Amino acid sequence: MKNIDIKSVMIGVLGTLLVFVTIGATGNQQSFGDITVNSIKIVDDGTGGFMSTYNSEGEMTSYLGTDADGNGVIGVHASDGIETARIGSDENQDGVIQLNDRYGNTQWSQSGEKLDSK
């Protein structure tokens, strides 16, 4: 019969504990509670920097960030996730305000582009 080396057993137990602690430390945090800060800087990692909020059903309710063209945008979404209002910039770099119906179809839009007066 073989003798059990106590050092090997301890190394095995400590190694196992280290794996469990590491898995727990890198697990997905569901909630951080309230966070109070003076400033938050969100940077673009190539996919656009943004901040969004979600309701209890997992649907996006607001978006603050960068659109596909690299312009800043604020979007407000209904409880089903459909965008109902948007403030941002258009392809000409002019400001735009847009209101959509409950289906996401644009019903009213106004550009900040200065029109030439005649």
84-114 confidence digits (pLDDT tens): 999 999 888 899 999 999 999 999 999 988 7
Cα 93 from Cα 88, distance rounded (Å): 9
Rg (CA), the chain: 26
| Region label for 68, one of left (φ > 0), alpha (ψ between -120 and 50) or beta (otherwise) | alpha
The helix (H) or strand (E) run that includes residue 51 is strand 50-54
The yes or no reply on domain 50-111 and CATH 1.10.3720.10 is no
- What residue ranges do the domains of the chain occupy? 50-111
Residue linked to tokens 């938050």: 40
Q: What percent of the chain has pLDDT over 90?
A: 31
Q: What are the beta bridge partners of residue 72? A: 66
| Per-residue model confidence as pLDDT tens digits over 72-85 | 899 999 999 999 99
